[in-house]
Amino acid sequence: MDFSGIFGNTQNFVIIATTLPVLVIVVILAGVAITRTRRARSAASNWATTTGQVVASGAQAYRSRSGTGGSTTMYRPAVSYLYTVNGRQYASDRMSLGLSVGYGSSGIAERMASKYPAGSMVVVHYNPENPAEATLETTARGSGLLWLIVVIMLVILAVSLAMTVGMGGFLNGILGNFF
């Protein structure tokens, strides 16, 4: 099939066809990171605080499925706490406004949860418009990881484009001498 009318040549079509999906993924990941970061900033500045009590703290195991059909055991910090707003008691297990990041080691998850031992009193940040929405930390945990993935994908994309375009010109120069 000749794509020269639309894309100039077949090489341009291949470059666009392989680059566009990666760019879409990069834009989606960047959007998620931006949204989570803004939400954390809003919580830090606009949400009210109250005192709560930790009822359970530790590492929670879960099965993570891989793309090959297998699964592995991962661990995340798990902290449950109770807090009261306007005379009504609420329960939450959200530690931060970021992503729920899993770890391959229960030790890491337990170390993170150990900041909030069972029975301790904690500062709970809650949304005054919806007091059931609460967190212990006003950070966007995992957003840094998303930004790292975005940067890595952009670097890989830039290098592969440079190699594709550069190698295409190089091969065209060599093969042009023979044909």
Q: Which band of pLDDT confidence, cut at 50, 70 and 90, is reported for residue 19? A: confident
DSSP state of 168: H
Q: Which band of pLDDT confidence, cut at 50, 70 and 90, is reported for residue 172? A: low
Beta strands per DSSP E along the chain: 48-65, 71-85, 88-92, 121-127, 130-135
* pTM score: 0.58
Q: Cβ contacts of residue 15 below 8 Å, gap of 6+? A: 161, 164, 165
Give me the mean pLDDT over the 96-107 stretch.
Answer: 69
pLDDT higher than 90, residue 130: yes
Give me the mean pLDDT over the 75-103 stretch.
Answer: 86
* Highest mean predicted confidence (pLDDT) among 45-54, 91-100, 145-154: 45-54
DSSP state of 49: E
pLDDT higher than 90, residue 139: no
Do 108 and 75 touch, CB atoms closer than 8 A?
yes
